[in-house]
Amino acid sequence: MAVRTRARPILSVMTSVASDLSYLIQTEFRLARAEFGEKLSEISNAAILVGIGAALALSGLIVLLFCIATWISFWGLFYGWALLIVSLVAIGLGGTAAYIGVTKARSAELIPERTLDQVREDYAVAKEHMG
């Protein structure tokens, strides 16, 4: 009978440890998923800026081509110069947006650092309690 009463608390403790470990693993996966979502959002925003930059640069190039054509055909006093100025501004804005987007994309890391740090801490605590 003494063996039986002793076995129950050990089984209860082991069940509790397994339950806590399962909850800890689920929590770590939720943290990793949330952190990965944040990283993906940063890359998505950078890609949008690159797209805007590309669209502005392309429109600037088109306007620049129209400007050159207009300037050549009219020997462009005012209209041609206006188109030239607009196209250069559009190209400048597009280049700036593309540069910012590329810079943000380079700086975004996909490694879930906070999750890895938390897992390391959990491992250290578990190792401390086991050993």
Lowest mean pLDDT among 3-7, 75-79, 121-125: 3-7
Whether the Cβ atoms of residue 84 and residue 65 lie closer than 8 Å to each other = no
Share of the chain above pLDDT 70, in %: 83
Helices (H), 75-112: 78-107
Confidence of residue 17 (pLDDT cuts 50, 70, 90): confident
**How far apart are alpha carbons 53 and 90 in whole angstroms?**
9
Asked whether the predicted pLDDT for residue 7 surpasses 60, the reply is: no
**Contact criterion met (CB below 8 Å) for 70 and 76:** yes
Q: Tokens 């188109």 appear where?
A: 83
Which amino acid does the sequence have at 125? V
Answer whether 0.85 is exceeded by the pTM.
no
Residues 6+ apart with CB under 8 A from 80: 67, 70, 71, 74
